[in-house]
Chains A and B, each alone.
Chain A
Amino acid sequence: MLKDATAIVGIGETVFAKNLEPSELELACQAIKAALDDAGIRSAEVDALSSYTMEETLEFEVARNLGMADITFFSQVGYGGGAGCAAVGHVAMAVATGVANVGVVWRSRKRSDPRKRVWAQVSPRVTDHWKYSRPWGLVRPVDEVAMFWRRYMHEYGATRDHLANVALACRRHANRNPRAFMYQRPLTREEYMTARWISEPLCLFDNCLESDGALAVVIVRADRAADCPHPAAYIHAWSQGLTRQHQNMTNYHSDNPMQGAAWAAARNMWRQADLRPRDVKVAQIYDAFTPLIPFCLEAYGFCGEGEGGAFTENGALELGGGLPINTSGGSLSEAYIHGMNLITEGVRQIRGTSTAQVPNADVCLVTSAYVVPTSAVLLRR
């Protein structure tokens, strides 16, 4: 029903930097205008909007700044970085079904200021499930993910070198991308191994950047996509994912904590798809923390359970390897805007315009954040 029925035909981005001066709303407007210009579509034609929660810029503000007319579909998807691909999916459904015709998905965030760290805003009294983790000092997402990685190393014999492989791949790709934070900052394995701990067993380079920026994409039905200036990135399949007994970031209480939300998104995405993991030439895998890559390589079927670490060996994740990932540098080395830059980079790979272009990249997987309730989308030429 949805298969190849819609496409991303425009992408737009602001500069990525620390301490950008414009407000998040203004940055959103910049990105959306750039995406609409890229698509060759006027803002007055937009009638579907979707974004993430934890977003200060609301639909009506975007609409009235950009001079949009009636908006007949709008959604905000929850769970922070888990939302990006879902926001694309929501708009794709609205547009495919005819509830709307032209959709925009955006993310705008000024997160470089340390005072903006969400974990630092915790209340003196915690009333929800976090009361069973935060009082003991498990406060930040990096701590919560580190707990899974320690268990994973124990169960499967994975090592720090496997995480270094992820960090180095993303950094090397960023070193080819003039828009990336880390464009001119190479990283060596030695530097990775001697970096300070943030939540042992995770070090500084296992963590994503803290950035300001905004990005947007434009989605239309397939029949209109052909009229747009750039090659369309068709949405072949997508899904959200929330597994049985899941508990948000602190998913320690389900039957198998090592199979979290991405497994549900993956099962349902592949169920709808004609394509298979072996057809994927390049992947943009949400990388707030390096362990998420081996976890997602397993969840999305590129290797068996427990094999994600080994998969990263021998340059597999780098341009020229078996499955290049995060080819603009990702959240680890380009910018951290809750994975929206993974979506735009996925589109670039399909178009053939990436700074780390994979030859014949006709199929690209994009995932949103794991461990939270998540989403994923399969793009194709």
Chain B
Amino acid sequence: MIEAIPLPSTDDPLDAPYWEAARRGELVVQTCRACGQRRFPPRPMCPTCQSFEHLWAPLSGKGRIWSFVFPHPPLLPVFAQIAPYNVIIVELADDPSIRMVGNLVTAADGPINQVDPTTIKIGTPVRVVFHRVDNDVTLARWVVA
């Protein structure tokens, strides 16, 4: 079992721009250059018009909690140490059909088990913050807006 957080690969040309924007503290989404449809997670082709051409558009960084859970052991060691913690899914204000997995925190670099679990509710407005994990990985997280 790995001892650290499972990290995303950030050097795949397909979604490297998402991770590069995250390192700059910006939330971006893949957008079809031909028809404007947004899509997440990133993929090569637009499902609406089948174009391979896309760009990366910035998002407002605002959303609402769509759902949440609190994992308890048995877990990977790095998560077992801080369990229970929260995992949330956020639906974006810019486009509620886009949903992203994240954590609710009180501060960008704070622990993911800090927010009082009894206060977490579906529908709560949130905004994005960014947490640097290492040289190439910065993770989007969320604070109550």
Q: Which of A114, A125, A132, A137 contacts B71 (CB 8 A)?
A: A137
Interface pair A200/B69, CB less than 8 Å apart: yes
Cβ-based interface call for B72 (8 A) = yes
Instruction: Tell me what chain B mostly uses at the interface: helix, strand, loop, or mixed.
Output: loop
8 interchain residue pairs of minimum CB distance: A131-B8, A200-B70, A151-B67, A146-B69, A133-B101, A134-B6, A127-B9, A132-B41
Q: Which of A70-78, A247-255, A305-313, A362-370 contacts B (4 or more CB under 8 A)?
A: A247-255
Tell me, rounded to whole Å, the shortest Cβ–Cβ distance linking B127 to chain A.
16
Cβ-based interface call for B125 (8 A) = no
The CA-CA distance from A138 to B6 in the complex, in Å, is 10
Q: Which residues of A contact B40 (CB under 8 A)?
A: 132, 253
Interface pair A150/B122, CB less than 8 Å apart: yes
Q: Which residues of B contact A126 (CB under 8 A)?
A: 6-9
Q: Which residues of A contact B7 (CB under 8 A)?
A: 124-126, 131, 135
Given known A-B contacts A126-B9, A135-B6, A197-B84, A147 and B102 have beta carbons under 8 A apart: no
Task: List residues of chain B with CB under 8 Å of any chain A CB.
Answer: 1-2, 4-9, 12, 40-41, 47, 66-72, 74-76, 79, 84-85, 87, 89, 97-103, 112, 117, 122, 133, 137, 139, 141
Tell me, rounded to whole Å, the shortest Cβ–Cβ distance linking A251 to chain B.
10
Given known A-B contacts A132-B8, A150-B67, A253-B99, A196 and B72 have beta carbons under 8 A apart: yes
* Size class of the contact patch on chain A: 35 or more
Cβ-based interface call for A360 (8 A) = no
Cβ-based interface call for A123 (8 A) = yes
Q: Which residues of A contact B117 (CB under 8 A)?
A: 200
Q: Which residues of A contact B12 (CB under 8 A)?
A: 127
Given known A-B contacts A124-B2, A200-B84, A250-B101, A114 and B74 have beta carbons under 8 A apart: yes
Interface residues of A in 101-159 (CB under 8 A from B): 114, 117, 120-127, 129-140, 143, 146-148, 150-151, 154
The CA-CA distance from A129 to B9 in the complex, in Å, is 10
Interface pair B9/A199, CB less than 8 Å apart: no
Cβ-based interface call for A201 (8 A) = yes
Interface pair B2/A122, CB less than 8 Å apart: yes
Q: Which residues of B contact A130 (CB under 8 A)?
A: 6
Cβ-based interface call for A245 (8 A) = yes
The CA-CA distance from A151 to B68 in the complex, in Å, is 8
Interface pair A135/B89, CB less than 8 Å apart: no
Q: Which of B2, B69, B85, B97 contacts A150 (CB 8 A)?
A: B69
Q: Which residues of B contact A127 (CB under 8 A)?
A: 9, 12
Interface pair A125/B8, CB less than 8 Å apart: yes
Interface pair A143/B9, CB less than 8 Å apart: no
The CA-CA distance from A308 to B97 in the complex, in Å, is 24
Tell me, rounded to whole Å, the shortest Cβ–Cβ distance linking B41 to chain A.
5
In this complex, what residue of B is CB-closest to A129? Answer: B41
Q: Which residues of B contact A247 (CB under 8 A)?
A: 41
Given known A-B contacts A197-B84, A253-B40, A139 and B68 have beta carbons under 8 A apart: no
Q: Which residues of B contact A129 (CB under 8 A)?
A: 41
Cβ-based interface call for A69 (8 A) = no
Q: Which residues of B contact A151 (CB under 8 A)?
A: 66-67, 122
Tell me, rounded to whole Å, the shortest Cβ–Cβ distance linking B46 to chain A.
12
